[in-house]
Amino acid sequence: MPNTLRVGASVAVFIAAGALALAGCTSTSGGAASHPASASAEVVAPVIVDLNDVDGTTVEVEVGNTIDLTGDDETYADWGAEIADDDIVDFTPGRDDGSAQFNPGLNALAVGETEVRLDNTSTDKTVTFTVKVVENG
């Protein structure tokens, strides 16, 4: 599946989550809408990073957001990660569930910086970069 379709599937999930959050709004008798606390949170698109361009760079992401690792349409499920401080980010491997393909990614867990080394077991390609997780907004 082309990379754009996998990214499109990720964006569709974020749009659906936003629609569900808006559906949680209710009207009061006066016609004004009341919003539950969960509806006030904005849905944020992931940071898109190309595996072919990330080596030696620093990627900045807000805590709670994700990094979508793109650029490998053939062996996306064969990437693994070594993370210097896994309290700052964790790794989600790429996968194919039979109905959709998902890029590998990183989840921003806490503010800080950590080095990330990604290795592909099929191609022996390695990329190393820094992830800087910052406060929201």
Tens of pLDDT along 95-106? 999 999 999 999
Pairing outcome for strands 66-70 and 47-50: parallel
Q: pLDDT for 13-35, tens place per residue?
A: 444 444 434 444 444 444 444 44
Amino acid identity for residue 40 in this structure? S
**Would you mind telling me the total number of residues written for the chain in this entry?**
137
DSSP code of 42?
P
Listed in sequence order, the DSSP H helices in the chain are 3-23
Confidence of residue 58 (pLDDT cuts 50, 70, 90): very high
C-beta of residue 132 within 8 angstroms of C-beta of residue 58: yes
Whether this model's pTM surpasses 0.85? no
Q: Which residues of 44-82 are buried (b: 16+ CB within 10 A; e: fewer)?
A: eebbbbebeebeeeebebebebbbbbbebeeebbbbebe
Contacts of 8 (CB under 8 A, 6+ apart): none
Average pLDDT estimate for 64-68? 97
CATH number of 3-134, picked from 3.30.420.40, 1.20.1250.20, 2.60.40.1080, 3.30.70.260: 2.60.40.1080
DSSP assignment of 107-136: EE-SSEEEEEEEEETTT--EEEEEEEEE--
